[in-house]
Each structure stands twice: as C-alpha cells, then as structure tokens.
Amino acid sequence: MMRAPTRKAAARGLAFSASPVLAVKLPAWRSRLTLFLLFGAFVAVAVRAFWLQAISTDFLQRQGAYRYARTLELPAVRGKITDRYGEVMASSLPVKAIWAIPEDVESEPNKLRQLAQLLEMPLPDLKKKLDSDRSFVYLKRQVEEKTAEQIVALDLKGIHTRKEYKRYYPLGQTAAHVLGFTNVEDIGQEGIERAQQKSLGGVTGSRRVIKDNIGRVIEDIGYIREPQDGTDLSLSIDGKIQYIAFTELQKAVEQHRAKAGAIVVLDVKTGEVLAMANLPTYNPNTRQGLTGAQLRNRVMTDTYEPGSTLKPFTVALALERGMVTPTTVLDTPAKLSIGPASIGDSHAHAATMSVAQIIQQSSNVGTVRMAMKCEPREMWDMFTSVGFGQVPRTGFPGEVAGRLRPYKTWRPIEQATMSYGHGISVSLIQVARAYMIFARNGEMIPLSFLKLSQPPLPQRVISERTAQQMRSMMEKVVGPGGTAPLAQVRGYRVAGKTGTAHKLEGGRYVNKYVASFVGFAPISDPRIIIAVMVDEPTAGGHFGGQVAAPVFSNVAASALRAMNVPPDASVENVIMPTQMITESM
C-alpha cells in the first residue's frame, strides 16, 4: 500500500505537482460536460433575461402597475343652474362615496357595527356586501362629509372614500318639473338637468398615483386628463313668478279637489318661459317612493282636448278671410244639425249673436257657423301655423306633438267639433304659444327655457288688424256678460278665453272635465301669457271660468307687479257681475 508523502519529503523540496494524489487522471468527458452545463446555464439566464426585458416588458410593467399604481377618477363639478336674475336653482355639494376592497377589510365586529350605523344600513346587509368576491364594491354613495369623516376615523383597513357631488335644489318642489334631477352618477334624468346634460355635466378627469399595500397614496405621478367643469346655465325662469304660479295652482287644485293641474307663464316679447309648474309634484332633494303621476310634466307631455280655448283661432280665420267682422250678426239657434248629428250650447242665449258676442259667451253654434264656411284645409293651415300637431321644439325632454289629423280625412261633423276644441288634442305649452298671435299682433316666435340676449325673429301668421280685433273681443270674455269675469286683474286690462272639455276615456266621453283658461295682459302692451289647466275638478264647479280663471287673475296680478309693468287701467276696473255665463262644451 502506497503511503502519503511525509513532511520530510516536502521539506526536502518535493514539487506539489508531483504529488501522488494529483497523479490520478480523470476522464476528459467529465470536464467537458461540466463546461457544457455551465455554458447552458449562462445561455438560459441570457434567454430569460432577454425574454423578460425585451419580449415581456409591457406585460410585466402592467402587472407591476396593477399592484401599486392606480388611476383615480376626478369628478367634474356640474354647472350651476340659476334663474334669469342669477338666483341659484340647482348646485352641486361635495360628498363622499364609501367603497371597499372586500378581501382587504378587517372583520372587527365592533367597528363593522359602527360602520353599519354610520352608513344607515343593517349589519347583515353590510356583511353581505363585504363577503363579495369582487375586488371593488360601493357601500354607499353620496354620504355627507361629516359622516364620511367619522367613517375614516374608524380606521378600517380596506374601507376607502372617494370624492363626488350631490345635487341640491333650493326651491324644492316649486320648480321640480322645470329642473328635473340627476341620478347617483350625477347624470340628468328629467327636466333641464336632462335636456342640458352635455353642457352641465362637464368632462370627468383622471390622474395616476402609486399606493402602498394598505391603499395610501405615496406618490402622485400626475394628470392623465384634467377635469373640465360643467357650464353654468341661466334659465329664462323668474324665481318669484315661478313661486307665485306654483302656489296659486296648488291652492286651486286643493280647493277644487282636482286630480292634477298645470300652469305656464310666457314672456310675450321674447318667448321665454317665465314659469312652469305641475301638480302632483315632488321634492327633487328627496326622491324616495316617487310615482309616475308626480314625475309627469303635464305642461309638456300631457295632451287634452282644449275645448273653447280653440275658438279664437276659428274666429280669427273667419276674420282673415273677410267672411265676418266683430259686429257681424249670425243666426245662433239652440241646436244646429250637421248631418245626422246636432250641436248645441250649454246655456240659453239669443237667437242671433254678433261675432264678438259669440266669443264673449263662448257659443259652439256660432263658432260652427263660421267654421263650416271655411274649407277644411284652411282650418288645418290655421291650426298648424300656430303649432298644433307639431312638437314645440323647445329642447325640453318629453314634449309631444298632440293630435291633429290630416284635413283630407275630416268629415263635416269633425270639422265642426274641431272648431270649438273637440276631436283635437294639444299640450298646454302649445296652447300658450299659439296665443302669441293675439298678444304679438299676429306674430309667432319660438319658445326658450334659457335666458336670451335678444328676441328671436318673428313669423307672421295673421294680420295685425285681425289680432287687434281678437284682443278686443277676448277682453269682453273677462267682463260682465263673459265667461270669465273672475279672470279680471285690478289695475290692468286683460283678455283671454275659457275652456271646459269632457274627458275621453275608452273612446267615450265621460263626466270628467278639464277646466282651462288662457289669457294675456296688459291689453295695451301685452307682456305675459298665462295658460292654466285643472284636471278633474270635483268641488266648487268644473267650468274654466270658475276653476282656472281665478288662478290666471292671481298669478297675473302678482307677476305684472313683480315685472314692474305699469297699470293700464284704473284700480277700480274690476267689476264682478251677479251671474257668470258658463262656456259651452
């Protein structure tokens, strides 16, 4: 057996390379294999590095960003809505949305109970939301700032807040149908809020931030897109007149125990809508449990048979054609036969009446006598020229065209009944606008819910002479012997026309009524048009002169004074007769 070299041998200067241990020879393939494996490892590392740094860069950056980078949405402030004098009608208040990452939420029973109380929700409902497998869940939207601060103070991991805005309407139910409201996403759902969504809403912004593992922002990277706040809108609405109109309509609906009511006030000079109100109504600040009846904007979306408020247009056509003058006397029998049907008046009157008396006393028979001398197309042209059968195009959501059938399909009895407002349907805004031709000396202009810097261009419909003759005759309607003495206004000369129409249900007329009045003032230089409609009055009468005319009187009196319109009559001009004539239906 060979022994290891001794120390003596090493001391004698024996070379290390001559060591017997190193003299053992290994196979060459082992060193080559080792070298190959080392080379392969280096190649694999290089390929992996190339793959990660060149091929998969975008993917890895996205994955990294997903873990620490966040995009925060920056809500735009919705534009304010003001009345024509700058009084705020709708504005946005800062609030907070409370949201959670369910998997991160700490299940501390006491704190969760406090959170549920602050959110005003049952604890089981809160736990159900937090048990979600989603990575993001809203717990509650539009939480008041004070409450949100209390929630933050709980210091619950996984619970976060987000800035947002809540719409506030100072006028409440008074202007609900004008303004409408927004949803929880601050998007307009009704009224002006919906009609002007694009302008009011603005553009939401966003910015990138880096957050730590518990959701705290540790670095602000910068804006992706800056938020663009919405544009403020100045409406044509006069806040004072809006309140007056709503209050007086409410009184009438309650007094006559009516199903509903509507009123609109127009500026004769500009076509601006000064007020619009409906009942039933709602408070846009608290909208729980709303019904369709509350949401309906009857001024714009409901149609009804206007009844006698349409007679002035038939008479104006007869005057325009030179068939009659205000003093022309016509035979007005108790009954007038049109084919197999007959038409009569609801009250007794003389066997002959002048055209002025026909308007004053609202005679169906007298109106039909004039209408049947006209061609159907002439009547149809008159009705369409004032906007019947056409969408008003105010830009307001839900506005309707009403119903006016083509003249070629009219039968004689249909032409007769349409002359006094039956067999045709209109909206209240259409009737109010149509009366422009009498208040503006024969001209029509478009309507606007936005404040205008200058009046729009007018379009002539009838002659100035005809318009003045109609004004004079409609002034007699509110005087003694007329159907609407209750529409008189102390200190001002006014004109208008009553309407009372049976309601149509299931294709048949029933004993339910729509009472209406449309008028303007002052006669010397008309400034406002007011149209009032009360649906199904059941107490204190059902005629337009009894139910709707007093609303016109009260609103006109207050509105004219609010607008500083000088009186054009003596303060003693109001003369109430002992008996009021009711209009025919």
The CATH architecture that domain 239-562 belongs to is 3-Layer(aba) Sandwich (3.40)
Q: Is 93 exposed, middle or buried (0-12, 13-18, 19+ CB in 10 A)?
A: exposed
Report pTM. Answer: 0.85
Give tens-digit pLDDT for 191-228.
Answer: 999 999 999 998 887 776 566 555 555 555 665 677 78
CA dihedral 214, 215, 217, 221 (to 10 degrees): 120
pLDDT reported for residue 382: 97
**Span 69-99+164-235: which CATH code?**
3.90.1310.10
With a CB cutoff of 8 Å and minimum separation 6, the contacts of 577 are 480, 481, 485
Question: pLDDT tens, 133-146?
Answer: 777 888 999 999 99
Would you place residue 288 in the very low, low, confident or very high pLDDT band (cuts 50, 70, 90)?
Answer: confident
* Secondary structure of residue 247 in the 3-state scheme: helix
The fraction of the chain above a pLDDT of 90, given in percent, is 65
* H/E run at residue 178: helix 176-179
| Vertex 152 angle, CA 148 and 154, to 5° | 120
SS (H, E, C) 430-488: HHHHHCHHHHCCCEECCCECECCCCCCCCEECCCHHHHHHHHHHHHHHCCCCCCCHHHC
Four-point Cα dihedral 417, 422, 426, 430, nearest 10: 60
Tokens (6 digits) for 242: 């809006």
- How many whole angstroms separate alpha carbon 478 and alpha carbon 548? 12
In sequence order, the 6+-apart residues with CB closer than 8 A to the CB of 221 are 69, 207, 208, 209, 210
- Mean pLDDT within 157-171: 90
Tell me the two tokens of residue 4.
């290891």
**Contact 209/70 with Cβ under 8 angstroms?**
yes
Residue type, 189: Q
Predicted pLDDT of residue 15: 62
Buried b (16+ CB within 10 A) or exposed e, 129-154: bbeeeeeeeebbbebeeebbeebeee
Q: How confident is the model at residue 295 (pLDDT cuts 50, 70, 90)?
A: very high
Non-local (6+) Cβ contacts of 434 within 8 A are 313, 386, 387, 388
Query: What is the residue type of 282?
Result: Y
User: Do 404 and 384 touch, CB atoms closer than 8 A?
Assistant: yes
Interior/surface letters 180-212, b for 16+ CB within 10 angstroms, e for the rest = bbbeeebebbbbbbbbbbeebbbeebebebeee
- The three-state DSSP-derived secondary structure of 37-69 is HHHHHHHHHHHHHHHHHHHCHHHHHHHHHHHHE
Residue with tokens 């990575």: 135
Residue 64, Cα to own-chain centre: how many angstroms? 45
Instruction: Give the residue carrying structure tokens 């009608």.
Output: 89
| pLDDT tens by residue, 389-438 | 999 999 999 999 999 999 999 999 999 999 999 999 999 999 999 999 99
Mean pLDDT of all residues belonging to the chain? 89
Distance (Å, whole) CA 110 – CA 131 = 17
Q: Kindly indicate the confidence band of residue 127, based on its pLDDT and cuts at 50, 70 and 90.
A: confident
For the chain, domain boundaries: 69-99+164-235, 239-562
Contact present, 514 and 535 (Cβ < 8 Å): yes
Pairing relationship of beta strands 495-505 and 459-460 according to DSSP bridges: unpaired
Q: Collapse the DSSP code of 35 into the 3-class scheme (helix H, G, I; strand E, B; otherwise coil) and give the result.
A: helix
pLDDT for residue 114 is more than 80: yes
Task: Assess whether 516 carries a catalytic annotation.
Answer: no
Contact 363, 332 (CB under 8 A): yes
State mean pLDDT over 272-278: 98
pLDDT over 70, % of the chain: 89
Which candidate in 92, 236, 308, 516 is catalytic? Answer: 308
Distance of CA 125 to the CA centre of its chain: 33
pLDDT value at position 443?
A: 97
Q: Of all residues in the chain, what percent are helix, strand and coil, respectively (each to 5)?
A: 35, 25, 40
pLDDT tens digit string along 536-550? 999 999 999 999 999
**pLDDT tens track for 26-41:** 677 777 788 888 888 8
Cα–Cα distance for residue pair 436/81, rounded to 1 Å: 27
- Both structure tokens of 494: 């006014």
Cβ pair 474, 316 in contact under 8 A? no
Q: Nearest CA to 97 among 21, 160, 149, 23?
A: 160
Angle between helices 364-371 and 412-419 (to 10 degrees): 130
**Per-residue pLDDT tens over the stretch 307-332:** 999 999 999 999 999 999 999 999 99
Query: What residue has token string 């809203």?
Result: 138
Predicted confidence band of residue 485 (pLDDT cuts 50, 70, 90): very high
Dist. CA 402–CA 508, nearest whole Å: 19
Residue 1: the pLDDT is 46
Residue 483 confidence class, pLDDT cut points 50, 70, 90: very high
222-260 pLDDT tens trace: 656 777 899 999 999 999 999 999 999 999 999 999 999
